[in-house]
Amino acid sequence: MKDPAVVMVALDAAMEGDKEMPKAPAKEGPSETPPEMSPEEMGEKQADLYMAVYGEEYNPESEEQRPMMEQIVAKMQEPDYAKLNPTQFALKMLREMAM
């Protein structure tokens, strides 16, 4: 894993670009619950988030990586994390880990 401070600086820089991007038009009718994902889609999303947070591919056979993935899965259930893109998710998680 890369040094968390270096990763946080890089993610902060990436987030600066996100602020200037135009937002997509709002959908009709608010949706409080996210759409259901298939197990394959959920696995892909978890792997994408793992890559964003730790900077390496997730290996399900690795005993060392399993607890880190469990942290990501737990954070995915929290409302504060539910609507974040992978970069924002990683930045928020790394900031909390650094505290």
Where are the chain's structural domains? 4-13+37-98
d(CA 9, CA 98): 12
Q: What is the pLDDT of residues 13-53, one digit of tens each?
A: 666 655 544 455 555 544 454 567 788 899 999 999 999 99
| pLDDT value of residue 28 | 56
The answer to whether 37 and 45 are in contact (CB under 8 A) is yes
Query: pTM higher than 0.85 for the full model?
Result: no
The answer to whether 94 and 7 are in contact (CB under 8 A) is yes
| pLDDT value of residue 37 | 79
Nearest of 35, 49, 55 to residue 81 by alpha carbon: 49
Q: What is the pLDDT of residues 47-93, one digit of tens each?
A: 999 999 999 999 999 999 999 999 999 999 999 998 999 999 999 99
